[in-house]
């Protein structure tokens, strides 16, 4: 099962990815998590990516495409994968298709911009795993601590409101055209395209995604 999650920053891709990967036993490939791991490790890629990410802009297509190709070639992707945050430009989608990386399902999660801005202030993440929480809508069992490791949760540097608004503008300009792109792909192939109202509760969205995938 090869799935792609498409949606604005804060739409709930990472939240639903956690659930889908556990349910279907496929690895989550989050380009955002991969970049944040590189930033934390201080690799040359991380140093290059940090400034761009903190400013809410997109890292170069070439760099991202290289990362994903390498990741998809690993053994744990034999039975499928869940793409979270990639592709997010038309050139990335084209490069993916040209590299023979195929999809079975595209899942769009749609949330109005103003709901997203309100949500992002309450997001907390576990830097080690990428697990995502929200102080009100999806709280951890113990405040400020990851449910699995007990380690401290953090606020992402790009969740400041002006940066969130910038990321939303870039989403509308560079990523939203993928809605039309994959609607066309679905009309001409076995790929399915389903759109979900991501302003419902986390559980309602998960339930509807499972129904669509089964």
Residues of each annotated binding site for AMP: 31, 36, 57-59, 85-88, 92, 156, 167
Q: Is 14 in the site for Zn ion (CB under 5 A)?
A: yes
Task: Number of helices (H) and strands (E) in the chain: give both, helices first.
Answer: 9, 7
Stretch that binds ligand AP5, among 72-80, 99-107, 118-126, 140-148 (CB under 6 A): 118-126
Q: How far is the CB of 66 from Zn ion (least distance, A)?
A: 20
SS3 102: coil
12 counts as binding Zn ion under rule CB under 5 A: no
Residues contacting residue 18 through CB under 8 Å, at least 6 positions apart: 28, 131, 132
Interacting positions 155-194 with ligand AP5 (CB under 6 A)? 158, 167
Q: Contact at 8 Å (CB) between 192 and 104? A: yes
Q: Considering the rule CB under 6 A, would residue 39 count as an interface residue with ligand AP5?
A: no
CA–CA distance, 137 with 208 (Å, rounded to integer): 18
138 binds, among ligand AP5, Zn ion, none (CB under 5 to 8 A by kind): ligand AP5
Core vs surface per residue 107-129: b (16+ CB within 10 A) or e: bbbebebeebeebbeebbbbbee
Binding residues for ligand AP5, per CB under 6 A? 7, 9-15, 31-32, 35, 52-53, 56-59, 64, 85-86, 88, 92, 119, 122-123, 132-134, 137-138, 158, 167, 198, 200-202, 205
């Amino acid at each position: 099962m090869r799935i792609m999650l498409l949606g604005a920053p804060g739409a709930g891709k990472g939240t639903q990815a956690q659930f889908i990967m556990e349910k279907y036993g496929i690895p989550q490939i989050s380009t955002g998590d991969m970049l944040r791991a590189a930033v934390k490790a201080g690799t040359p890629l991380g140093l290059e990516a940090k400034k761009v990410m903190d400013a809410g802009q997109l890292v170069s297509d070439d760099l991202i495409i290289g990362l994903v190709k390498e990741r998809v070639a690993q053994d744990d992707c034999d039975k499928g994968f869940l793409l979270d945050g990639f592709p997010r430009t038309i050139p990335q989608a084209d490069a993916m298709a040209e590299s023979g990386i195929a999809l079975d399902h595209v899942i769009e999660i749609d949330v109005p911009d103003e709901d997203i801005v309100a949500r992002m202030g309450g997001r907390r993440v576990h830097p080690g795993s990428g697990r995502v929480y929200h102080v009100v809508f999806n709280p951890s069992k113990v405040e400020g601590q990851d449910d699995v490791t007990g380690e401290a949760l953090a606020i992402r540097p790009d969740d400041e409101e002006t940066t969130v608004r910038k990321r939303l503008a870039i989403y509308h300009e560079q990523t939203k055209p993928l809605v039309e792109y994959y609607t066309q792909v679905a009309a001409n192939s076995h790929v399915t395209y389903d759109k979900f109202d991501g302003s419902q509760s986390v559980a309602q969205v998960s339930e509807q995604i499972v129904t669509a995938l089964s």
